[in-house]
Every structure is written in structure tokens, then in C-alpha cells.
Chains A and B, each alone.
Chain A
């Protein structure tokens, strides 16, 4: 049973072809490609890349929103998100490989362009980390490395 007042998020996902899923979210829709790919020319963002994109989006948008709440001016925020799997060869079904292809490590680098004092940015950063659902989830599940750099 759900606790009273608990919000439930749901999306609907349909595999519309071999290599593409269509995601329906409220009034929005988007496509996701194969689970993961090693091909730079892959037609669509993969499921893994979409998840990493969501992680990065949560932190850069979260940072802007928290900064705004504290009336701190941020000119730009950008993040790079890198992930490593425990054993990508297992995903490919390589006979003799062991383990699983789960995410082993995520490294997020955030670049914040602001003239605000470093201590104020640090407070915003800590608040973002403490209030971001995906970050809080990944932090318990993988080796998550998060750093930010202030660009003046």
C-alpha cells in the first residue's frame, strides 16, 4: 500500500521497432535507442546515454534552480558525465565473460560560470546534491564522483 499522499511517477514505453523505444510522459514523447552501443554512428541516444543525460540534467538544472532560489547569479552551467560498466562484454553475450554489465562508476564534472563568492556556490552545490533524487540514488548504487569548478 502506498503511504498517503505519496506521488507516483509513471511513463509508458513501447518498443516501436527493433532498435527504438517510444516514451510517453504526460503530454510529451521522446525516443530512446538500443540499451547501449559502441558505435559512434549509432542513430539514437541509447538507454544508457539517456540515463546519464538525465543525471547530468538533474544536476545542472537543479543547480540553476537552487541558485535562483538563493538569488545567486549563475551565467552558465554545464556538466560532463562519464560512465564505466563492470563488464560491457557481458552485454554483447561474449562466451566466457563473467559478471554483469551494470554501471560501475559515474564521474560528473560540473562547470559553473558565476561571479558569486565560492562559499555561496559551495552552499548551493551541497543543497543540489542533497535534494537531487537521481544523484541520491546513484550515490548508493555506484562509485559516484562529483566535482564542480567555478569559471569566472
Chain B
């Protein structure tokens, strides 16, 4: 049996450790994989659509790009439990002048990288839905950390928060998981900041295949993936690093908010870098 070729984007060399564990597990379970690392999602999506890899571990934006590039000929086959039902928050100073979204008119909003679904596109899409257009009704302070990696690196969101903290913005955007962990570790002093608004729920990363991927191979691969268990100490280590407790089947219901935001903001017409 030939190895299944799985693509992943590395935002940090440490992520390679996660893939080493996954690769060994698949090897031990009779479904060998070769992992191909890419420096950005654009290259990975191209590789998937050109048949250089079988499966791509895609960001939500890369999933949409794969669907656009293949005219809908891709499938979402698996995701982490924590990829489901995420939200982004708009954060403001507690007790400050911004009490509702409308108050952001004429203000500065700090966001993450231009291609970050959670740190930029979905929060700006939420504002657009409420009639507030970036560059027209408010100014955007964007922190383009590692563009091409779709905000996988939290650096852009952290810089956006620091911008708010230094008084250079009136609000900033971040993923709920970052809000939770930064409140917990003290990065965000809770008494000073609060959530102004929360986006619709959306789904995050997803394993993506082309429609022509062998159903038998896909089943075998998914059977092995879904057999990973948080109760197994070695899997637990990988799952903690990757931020999940369980692998789930892929689903399409959670990409609407990002799709709507990308269209409203004209993202597809913009240069990627």
C-alpha cells in the first residue's frame, strides 16, 4: 500500500512534533502516511488540487479556497472537536465609551493578519453585517503576522490586543480560545477589558480531500484517525499540543460566517500578500 500524502502548514517548527506522533501512529496501524510541510496555505491548496497530496490539513479559509479552486470538488472529511462552534470576540475597555457596536463608528479596531478568519475576517464581517464598513465607518489597525498561514500563529491577535492595551485602538478582535487562555494567564486583565460582541459560531480547521480520492483509502485513513484516543498517553500528548480531545467527522455547516465575511469584505479580489 502506498503512503497517503498528507499536507500541513507549519507556523512553528514545534508543530512538526505533532505530525511525528501522528505519522508513527498511522504507520503502526497499517496505514502509512507521508507528511508534506508547506510554508503557506496557498501552496498547500495548489498541491491538493494538482494531486500532489491526497489530504490537506486546511484552515477554514484554505477550505474555502480549495472549494473555489476546484469548483466545489473537495470534501471535508475530519476535524478536531475544538474546530467546531468556535466564535470570535470584539474586546473593548471595560466601562469605556464603546458600549455597543454602533459606538465603534469613527473608531480604530485592531485585528490580526489580513487572512486570519478568526482574528480579522469574521470579526470584520460581523461589523459589516451591522452596517459598519472597514475604512469607511471605522479604521482598521491590522497586524499582519505571518501572512499566508491564515492566523494559525496567535501573534497577530496578541499584537492587536496590545494595540488596544496601549490605547491605540478602541477595540480588538480575537478567537474565543485566545480570550479564555489570555484571561487565565493574566495577559488580559479581566477587570480592564470585556467582550463587546461575539460572532456567529463557525468551524475551523478541516482535513480536505478531492472528490476523486479513493473511498477505500479514505475509509481506512479515517478509521485510524478516529481510533486515536485521549486515554492513550502518547495520543494525549499530541492531542494536548494540537488542542483537541477527539477527532470528529468533517462537516460543512460551520463555514458560512467566513464565506459571507470574505465576500462582503472583497477578500477574494485582494492580493494574497
Residues of chain A touching chain B, judged by Cβ–Cβ distance below 8 Å, are: 37-39, 41, 88-89, 91-97
Contact = CB atoms under 8 A, between A and B. Distances in A.
B144 to A, nearest CB: 17
B37 A93 contact: yes
Contacts of B16: 38, 92
B48 to A, nearest CB: 13
24 contacts: A37-B17, A38-B13, A38-B14, A38-B16, A39-B14, A39-B17, A39-B20, A88-B13, A89-B10, A89-B37, A89-B39, A91-B13, A92-B10, A92-B13, A92-B16, A92-B37, A94-B38, A95-B36, A95-B37, A95-B38, A95-B47, A96-B39, A96-B40, A96-B43
A93 B36 CA distance: 8
Interface of B: 10, 13-14, 16-17, 20, 36-40, 43, 47, 237
B13 A89 contact: yes
Nearest to B37: A94
A97 B148 CA distance: 12
B23 to A, nearest CB: 13
Contact of B38 (A38, A88, A96): A96
Contacts of B39: 89, 94-97
Contacts, number: 35
Contacts of B10: 89, 92, 94
B241 to A, nearest CB: 10
A94 B20 CA distance: 14
B154 to A, nearest CB: 18
Nearest to A37: B17
A63 B248 CA distance: 58
A92 to B, nearest CB: 5
Contacts of A94: 10, 37-39
Contacts of B40: 96
Contacts of A97: 39
Contacts of A37: 17
B28 to A, nearest CB: 15
Contacts of A92: 10, 13, 16, 37
Given A38-B16, A95-B38, 6 more contacts: A37-B17, A38-B13, A39-B20, A41-B237, A88-B13, A95-B39
A145 to B, nearest CB: 22
A33 to B, nearest CB: 13
A38 B17 contact: yes
